[in-house]
Amino acid sequence: MTELKKEIFNVIAGTSLGRALVYTCGHVIIAMTVVSVLTGASLFEAGLVAMVEPTINGFWYYILDKMWTKNFKSKSV
């Protein structure tokens, strides 16, 4: 492995952002495979589902977290 490749690997493996990106890529690949196998959809269609669904879940989590923080954080102390 070249020195540059080692440095890139260390940056990815050594940061939360890097690990989150690797996890997200794995999630998308797994979701594409599952959708394609279970439904017979093309990889393009499965890829679209695999990209749209996590994006919607991300927005939902953001909204949920905001509502949760607003309604419960001040009451728990």
Provide the residue range defining the domain that includes 17.
3-70
Report if residue 40 sits inside a domain. Answer: yes
Report if residue 76 sits inside a domain. Answer: no
Report if residue 47 sits inside a domain. Answer: yes
Q: Is the pTM of this model over 0.85?
A: no
Report if residue 43 sits inside a domain. Answer: yes
Residue 5: the pLDDT is 84
Report if residue 33 sits inside a domain. Answer: yes
pLDDT per residue as tens digits for the range 18-42: 888 888 888 889 999 999 999 999 9
Report if residue 77 sits inside a domain. Answer: no
Report if residue 19 sits inside a domain. Answer: yes
Percent of the chain at pLDDT > 90 equals: 26
Domain count, the chain: 1
Report if residue 66 sits inside a domain. Answer: yes
Q: What is the DSSP string of 6-67?
A: HHHHHHHHTSHHHHHHHHHHHHHHHHHHHHHHHH---HHHHHHHHHHHHHHHHHHHHHHHHH
